[in-house]
Structure 1
């Protein structure tokens, strides 16, 4: 009958609308703050609370690396300062296993900072390139202003809760913008795409092997970076980029872990995977 046909058409149309809405967003993303963008253009493909200011943990080290690379002289030899001991101990920070008095180049310290998220390496670079810790943090904020990151503020080169849980903050949109600028630097791209880096013992330093904490590099085809992060307030965070064919996507998720203070390093990888799969399928 006409009535039956009309009802079937209505149900079919409703299902089509539901499917369209589902396709308009990646499914299963748990992070309350997230965004996926076209890396080439910066165009926002999908976002959730993307301009809310939030702590981002060690994703902060992207700016530290950017500032160091922009300053140049990456072959300069830097002595690891005594200050790393109290700094790492105070915040129970992740380290690259550096020992005061060791001598490494700035480039080697970039690997030590970005792969195992060494706060000892971040502190060492900050003191050398400030010069001095406070001066370097000021340079980070000046660089943020220069790059147009209007909702970003740094209080620590590692992203540690120094002096407070919320004094170091950004937004997923600002982090994507920073990531796009950083990935234009060849040295930065090389470092963040490296899964493991071995430094043989040499004059002035011990042997070190640093493994990249970014699990997306090994679990997702085409992943090329960028940086993990975690503090109790920030939760599990990830700034990520992946390339397939001629398309490169960049995204960020903050606080992917299911509970307020739980550490689940796989959580942001699951979110990033869902977002990237959705983005590449479009």
Structure 2
């Protein structure tokens, strides 16, 4: 099955839109109804590109940035480290009207718990806290993010903030659809990351150093699309609504991204992803005796 999908895509140029002639198994040359001006869909094992649109155009990526933040932290290790939430989250969140995990300065959580706070409710307070701890400090942590991007060959990417907020400008943090698929592939190969982003919710009971928290994912694909296993939403005025996603259906993993699907609707980004995924999966699942 995996050979079937990758084999049809093997002759396609990694950065070009795949044509009908290059994918004879597919009834149409490209997915219909995709609103995102920048997008890419790839085999979730090899990274072979199946379809793309303006995949090398750098654009703002909003909170998809947090995938890199999580990757840097997980690579550093010590996920059971106790981390104190700093006072700085208050001004940081207020300046940008940022999404938060409702953390309170002085709370003590483990790094692993903060990763759930980062990835599910898209907590910018968690991103700030992790950057302070693992930089140490914002500047040192952002340098690590950019170093990791270079190591991954993400030539069209730059980070200026651990959350993807417009600091100092709307376009200071940017990436490309192609680079984000590379990032997603790397992150999803880490079991702890994959476990976290695959959860729809996470409950943290109150403890000696922390309040009770209930965090729910912002990724509606996890609820609405069969086989969805992650990854991360994003939304700012400049980036619009974005979604980096992975699914596994019939044993076939697919990974992709849509950027600026809509000015403000996460449902449109999720619909874009579904259009892309159905374009690949429907012809296969309709003729082969495998589950959904």
Where in structure 2 are the equivalents of 1:97-176 lying within 5 Å?
Answer: 97-176=102-181
Provide the alpha-carbon RMSD of the alignment: 1.4
1:96 to 101, 112, 122: 101
1:267 aligns with 2:264: no
**1:279 to partner: Cα distance:** 1.4
Gaps of 5+ in 2: 1-19, 284-292
- Corresponding residue SS for 1:23: coil
1:81 aligns with 2:82: no
1:214 aligns with 2:215: no
* CA displacement, residues 91-140 of structure 1 (integer Å, 9 cap, x when unaligned): 00000000000000000000001000000000000000000111000000
2:240 to 205, 214, 235: 235
- Corresponding residue SS for 2:155: coil
1:200 to 183, 205, 208: 205
1:45 to 28, 35, 50: 50
- How many residue pairs match? The answer is 261
Match of 1:7 in 2: none
Task: Report the structure number with the largest CA radius of gyration.
Answer: 1
**1:22 to partner: Cα distance:** 6.7
In structure 2, C-alpha distance between the alignment counterparts of 1:150 and 1:81, rounded to whole Å: 33
* CA displacement, residues 63-100 of structure 1 (integer Å, 9 cap, x when unaligned): 00000000000000000000000000000000000000
In structure 2, C-alpha distance between the alignment counterparts of 1:281 and 1:200, rounded to whole Å: 42
Runs of 4+ in 1 over 4 A off after TM superposition: none
**1:281 to partner: Cα distance:** 2.8
Gaps of 5+ in 1: 1-15
In structure 1, C-alpha distance between the alignment counterparts of 2:28 and 2:208, rounded to whole Å: 57
In structure 2, C-alpha distance between the alignment counterparts of 1:179 and 1:280, rounded to whole Å: 20
In structure 2, C-alpha distance between the alignment counterparts of 1:38 and 1:160, rounded to whole Å: 30
In structure 1, C-alpha distance between the alignment counterparts of 2:273 and 2:213, rounded to whole Å: 30
Where in structure 2 are the equivalents of 1:178-193 lying within 5 Å?
Answer: 178-193=183-198
* CA displacement, residues 222-246 of structure 1 (integer Å, 9 cap, x when unaligned): 0000000011000000000000122
Match of 2:281 in 1: 280
**1:189 to partner: Cα distance:** 0.1
Match of 2:249 in 1: 244
